[in-house]
Amino acid sequence: MNIPDHRSSIFDKIQAATGTLKSKAALPDYDLSVTHSLPKLEGTDLWQIFCRNFKAVNGKPMDSVAELAAFLKSTNQLTGYCDPALMDAVGSKLAAEGLTVETSYDRERYEVYQFGITRASGAIAESGSVILDDERTSHRLAALSPWVHVAVLENHEIHRTIPDAIAAFGESPNIIWCTGPSKTADVEGILIEGVHGPGEQVVLRI
């Protein structure tokens, strides 16, 4: 008697459902006058607008690796992962400050990594959100498992509004918008951060 492999069948269906779509539906015809929050968009410098809204959700925007190193040392987060493509610009400078930085993420040792440094694919000034996707994130678990996630961003990758970010969707089948550290609240309305994802969300502009 053959016993069906339900586990493999389930994962095969998930893989098929999350693959790149052959064709995409057209975006809705948004009424731009009602799809974004004008008070949060005061100013013209998108980095400054993003920083203001990112701080409002307990995110930490940073402009230098030295600032990042000081933060990691002050919170005793001394061992982590860095996207190999960011090692020269970020990881090597942290290593020079005495931190332990690995460029290979071993999921069997996930508890060792106190911080994870990966590329962001964008950010949204209006909401203070960081955009991550599978095309630019070197290792998804490295972005979601460590207590501190550092998303590395370039200035030209900041979108002004949510509709702008939607219009810029690429071909990645998995896109995540992170608006500050992970949050949850119980029935009494007590907000707790870092329950199902990073407890500290940092954006480093390079």
Class of the 42-205 domain?
A: alpha beta
Residue among 206, 204, 184, 179 at smallest CA distance from 195: 184
Percent of the chain with pLDDT over 70: 88
- The model's pTM: 0.81
Q: What is the per-residue burial (b if ≥16 Cβ within 10 Å, else e) of 168-190? A: eeeebeebbebbbbbbeeeeeee
CB-based contact 122:131 (threshold 8 Å): yes
Mean pLDDT of all residues in the chain?
Answer: 87
CB-based contact 129:123 (threshold 8 Å): yes
CA–CA gap between residue 122 and residue 56 (Å, rounded):
18
Please check the confidence at residue 200 and state whether its pLDDT lies above 80: yes
Question: Angle 110-140-178 (CA atoms, 0-180°, nearest 5)?
Answer: 110
> pLDDT tens-digit profile of 63-101?
999 999 999 999 999 999 999 999 999 999 999 999 999
Domain positions in the chain? 42-205
Indicate the helix (H) or strand (E) that contains 158.
strand 158-159
Q: Which residue has the tokens 């970010």?
A: 165
Of the two residues 5 and 133, the one the predictor is more confident about is 133
CB-based contact 178:199 (threshold 8 Å): no
CA 8 to chain CA centroid, nearest Å: 30
User: Residue 111 in 3-state DSSP?
Assistant: helix
With a CB cutoff of 8 Å and minimum separation 6, the contacts of 39 are: none
